Amino acid sequence: MNSRKKPYELILYEYLRIRRGLSSDENSKYRKLKKGYEGELLFDAYIDKIQCDYLSLTDLSFSHNNKFFQVDNILLIDNTIYMYEVKNFLGNYYYENNKLFIEPQQEIDDPLTQLKRSEALLRQLLKYLGFSNQLQAKVVFVNPEFTLFQAPRSSKLLLPSQLNRYFHKFRQCPPLDTSFYQLGEKFQSISLEKSPYTQPPTYQYNELKKGIPCPSCYKFFETVDGRTCICRHCDVRESLQSAVLRTIEEFIFLFPEQRITTDKICDWIQLPVAQKRIRYMLNKNFLQKGKNKGAYYVKMEGN
């Protein structure tokens, strides 16, 4: 079982939102990613309640026959393969003439169409991998404040009111066959790290605000009292080492090609902290390469 990770793009937008702000288009993309991720976590909560033997694989991206497709969740249970397309829609929706609308009259992409394509490609991939097990595909609407009128009588739709009953059927299942564990490992080994269609926003070091954002209100720390950072906006306190290491991780995420040096980190955190103190933290938590002015730091193995 692989635990769901926050998407790379969502993390990037969260960092940029604090350090330079987002354009209107970027903010729309950020809200969409955030809403989607929150919906996937709601779905995961149902999976976590399953008591019998299963494998749950999340956020899989595949390329097969030069065609790319993504799957929110694959559940291997009861010697069956289930694939789920998770939607966190909010509000009133309806079907009319085989098209999906959000009230009052705005047509949107039908997730059943997306599911049909992904299901077909996953079947092809399974056949290529030598698996012929039963595959069931569902679109799952997880938001309790979602309502769907004139829904087609499709067995591929799962509405919020149906989820408890649906997952209750998994309360007693036979042990998972060894071949399913092998399939799960294969899925994870061939899943792409990033979508080829990802277009992350561009940014430069000089345009980002320097400092350590408060983990609660996201305003920047201005005060250090001994070994503690104090937020003057919400009074949250965080140990200096925790705050510095957290912000170094952010630097590594945003600028993976740049070397971690004492001078660079001092400039990045912008706090009244002695350079030797930052160097001590780096020496304690990272591996030093080089010496004197050429010294830089890399992550230790296992971190």
Mean pLDDT taken over the chain: 94
Q: Is the pLDDT of residue 171 over 90?
A: no
Asked whether the predicted pLDDT for residue 1 surpasses 70, the reply is no
- Rounded to whole angstroms, how far apart are CA atoms 167 and 102? 27
Can you give the pTM of this predicted structure?
0.90
pLDDT at 103 over 80: yes
- CA separation, residue 145 to residues 17, 89, 105, 167, 249 (Å): 28, 8, 19, 20, 36
pLDDT surpasses 90 at 101: yes
Q: What average pLDDT does range 3-23 have in this prediction?
A: 95
CA 175 – CA 259 distance, rounded (Å): 49
In which band, very low, low, confident or very high, does the pLDDT at 4 lie, cut at 50, 70 and 90?
confident
pLDDT at 303 over 70: no
Q: What whole-number distance in Å separates Cα of residue 87 and Cα of residue 39?
A: 6
The pLDDT > 90 percentage for the chain reads 85
Of all residues in the chain, the percent with pLDDT exceeding 70 is 99
Let me know: does 199 contact 210? Beta carbons within 8 Å: no
Is pLDDT of 3 > 80? no
Residue type, 41: L
Q: What are phi and psi of 18, to 5 degrees?
A: -80, -35
Render pLDDT for 116-162 as a digit per residue (tens, 0 to 9).
Answer: 999 999 999 999 999 887 899 999 999 999 999 998 887 899 999 99
What average pLDDT does range 167-174 have in this prediction?
90
CB 69 within 8 A of CB 122: yes
One-letter amino acid for residue 220 of the chain: F
- pLDDT value at residue 127: 94
* Over residues 38-46, mean pLDDT: 97
**What is residue 196's predicted lDDT score, i.e. its pLDDT?**
79
- Asked if 122 and 176 count as a contact pair (C-beta separation under 8 A), the reply is no
Structure-token pair, residue 10:
């969502």
The answer to whether the CB of 241 falls within 8 A of the CB of 281 is yes
